[in-house]
Chain A
Amino acid sequence: KAGVTQTPRYLIKTRGQQVTLSCSPISGHRSVSWYQQTPGQGLQFLFEYFSETQRNKGNFPGRFSGRQFSNSRSEMNVSTLELGDSALYLCASSFSSGGDTQYFGPGTRLTVL
């Protein structure tokens, strides 16, 4: 089975721009979660989507948004980028929502200049 894939792997943007990241979960998985990883804050939960509905949301500003499509693929969008948004963005997929094992993708490295 193919693992979780994320595109693009690397992105460089400037302040004020917006960015869209994509995640394709493992086949058959319906839950997709997004995390932000930084050296200072570690892994911080952004949000989870299950069957196209946002199930949970972490403590991030409204500039961070996401969606999930009927094929379980997910996108996250960050608008009005700030320098502090530079991070590794990780997507994780699970078969179900509710304490299920999460399988992570390789991440998208976003650099904001």
Chain B
Amino acid sequence: QQQVKQSPQSLIVQKGGISIINCAYENTAFDYFPWYQQFPGKGPALLIAIRPDVSEKKEGRFTISFNKSAKQFSLHIMDSQPGDSATYFCAAIPSNTGNQFYFGTGTSLTVIP
């Protein structure tokens, strides 16, 4: 059973456009929501993360929007660049249960020049 559902599976965006990736969860015990970026041949790298006490967090061109009542969160990449082409994973972790992260299935983003 996939605890974190991620969409779309793949995304193609023009350079300069906005990339939006969505995730949804059911477990209300989740209280930490990171996004990871993975390039081919590399391990995932933390991009940005949010806790449910805020509805939005922005770091540079990357923004997480969080809707606690809908149990959804999304990643927005503004002014998308070809160098952003990678696979993006959302994740969630419940409180006080160690570091067992539950990952979404990933979104392959391609930014075309």
* B93 contacts across to A, CB distance below 8 A: 99
- Is residue A33 contacting chain B, with contact meaning CB distance below 8 A? yes
Any B CB within 8 A of the CB of A45: yes
Q: Are A103 and B46 in contact (CB under 8 A)?
A: yes
Near B by CB (< 8 A), chain A positions 56-107 give 56, 58, 90, 92, 94, 97-107
Q: Is the CB of B102 within 8 A of A45?
A: yes
Query: Is the CB–CB distance between A104 and B44 below 8 Å?
Result: yes
CA distance A31 to B101 in the complex (A): 13
What residues of B have a CB within 8 angstroms of the CB of A33 in the complex?
99-101
Structural contact, B41 and A45, CB atoms closer than 8 A? no
Query: What range describes how many residues of B lie at the interface?
Result: 20 to 34
Cβ of B103: which chain A residues have Cβ within 8 Å of it?
35, 42-44
C-alpha spacing A31/B93, complex, angstroms: 15
Q: Tell me whether chain A's interface is mostly helix, strand or loop, or mixed.
A: strand
Q: Is A4 located at the chain interface by the 8 A CB criterion?
A: yes
Q: Residue B43 contacts which of A44, A99, A105 (CB distance < 8 angstroms)? A: A105
Closest 8 CB pairs of A and B: A104-B43, A43-B103, A55-B98, A99-B32, A56-B98, A56-B100, A42-B105, A97-B98
Q: Which B residues contact A (CB, under 8 angstroms)?
A: 31-32, 34, 36, 41-46, 49, 89, 91, 93-106
Which A residues fall within an 8 A CB radius of B?
4, 31, 33, 35, 42-45, 48, 50, 55-56, 58, 90, 92, 94, 97-107
Extra A-B contacts (14), CB below 8 Å, given A42-B105, A56-B99? A33-B99, A35-B103, A42-B89, A43-B44, A43-B101, A44-B103, A45-B101, A56-B97, A97-B98, A98-B98, A100-B99, A103-B46, A104-B36, A106-B41
